[in-house]
Amino acid sequence: MIDIVDQQTRSRMMSGIKGKNTRPELALRRAIHARGFRYRLHATDVLGRPDLVFPKHNAVVFVHGCFWHRHAECRFTTIPSTRPEFWQTKFEANVARDSAVRGALLAAGWRVSTVWECAVRKPQQVEVAANLLAAWLGDGASEFEIGETKVVAEG
């Protein structure tokens, strides 16, 4: 399929996609703050600049978009039909970087959680995710993942 806009317009459109303070992230932040948890945002001194850093709990939370970070078996994880080789390479690099950052944080003693965009699309989903995240912060498990179809805790 041929792109319907020129390269300059597409570049401008893609540069407008935000990397922080996204709608899913803001919704989760409001819900977790309402539960009494305090956090730092996008801490530059923590590897990977996690979306939320809970120093008191030695925990970090990444709020990942399913499309960009390739949430496995998610309906929002699609590959654009234009330039699929480019996109596949880009997505593989994103996944490799996410995995390396997660491993390095765990090795450094951080507890790491990933909340997928599909798990916080609706207000009632945000509440469920915030409750699960609050429970995880209190229980001491090293890894935690919240997606639309699954919740995974390890360690």
4 occurs within a structural domain: no
**Local confidence band at 150 (pLDDT 50, 70, 90 cut-offs):** low
Q: Tell me the whole-structure pTM to 2 decimals.
A: 0.85
The domain of 110 spans 19-154
Encode burial over 20-42: b for 16+ CB neighbours within 10 A, e otherwise.
Answer: eebebbebbbebbeeeebebeee
Strand 59-64 relative to strand 111-116: parallel, antiparallel, unpaired?
parallel
pLDDT tens for 124-149 read: 999 999 999 999 999 888 999 998 75
39 occurs within a structural domain: yes
9 occurs within a structural domain: no
131 occurs within a structural domain: yes
- 63: three-class secondary structure by DSSP: strand
6 occurs within a structural domain: no
8 occurs within a structural domain: no
Q: How far is CA 140 from each of CA 37, 91, 134, 150, rounded to the nearest angstrom? A: 15, 31, 11, 19
108 occurs within a structural domain: yes
What's 83's domain CATH number? Answer: 3.40.960.10
pLDDT tens for 63-73 read: 999 998 999 88
Give the per-residue pLDDT at 147. 85
Give the per-residue pLDDT at 28. 97
How many structural domains are present in the chain?
A: 1
Give the per-residue pLDDT at 81. 85
**Nearest residue to 23 (alpha-carbon basis) of 50, 56, 51:** 51
Q: In what order do the strands lie in the sheet with 59-64?
A: 40-41, 52-54, 59-64, 111-116, 143-146, 151-154
Q: Is the alpha carbon torsion for 15, 21, 27, 28 positive or negative?
A: positive
11 occurs within a structural domain: no
